[in-house]
A = this chain, B = another copy of it.
Amino acid sequence: MADWRDRLRESGYRLTPQRELILAAVEKLGHATPEDVLAEVRTSSSAVNLSTVYRTLEVLEELGLVRHAHLSDRVATYHSLTGEHGHDHFHLVCRNCGRVESVDPSVAEPFGAQLRTQFGFEADLGHLTVFGHCTACQEAPHD
């Protein structure tokens, strides 16, 4: 695995302290909004601007180092595909307790195959977010 720093430079981008900090924050946080990332970066270093967070996440996503998902009806969250917890996955989000479960894309592969066969549609299963209710919240649907 070529280091992501090399990938950055090979693509004509530059390696900056901000980019290192932001990717590290995403890796550490798991599923983080741009604001979350900003807050995390600020705990360990001097300030970084929120615009820079947005612009950097865009670059990192273009390079395939992070992905975003819509885990709420509001903001997007980013997770890394690098680092120790980094791997492609989709999400199950409980509408009641808000818990997010990350699931390996292979679980959805039969579904992907079905969409391919039946609709000729090549699904991006790594971006999938499934809303519903987790086991615990099915018994007590309201908090």
On A, residues with C-beta under 8 Å from B are 68, 70, 73, 76, 92, 94-95, 101, 103, 107-108, 110-111, 114-115, 118-125, 127-135, 138
Contacts and interface: CB of A to CB of B under 8 A. Distances in A.
Q: How many copies does the complex hold?
A: 2
Nearest to A108: B111
A133 B128 contact: no
Given A73-B76, A110-B111, A111-B108, A92 B123 contact: yes
A101 B123 CA distance: 12
A120 B134 contact: yes
Contact of A122 (B73, B76, B133): B133
B107 A121 contact: no
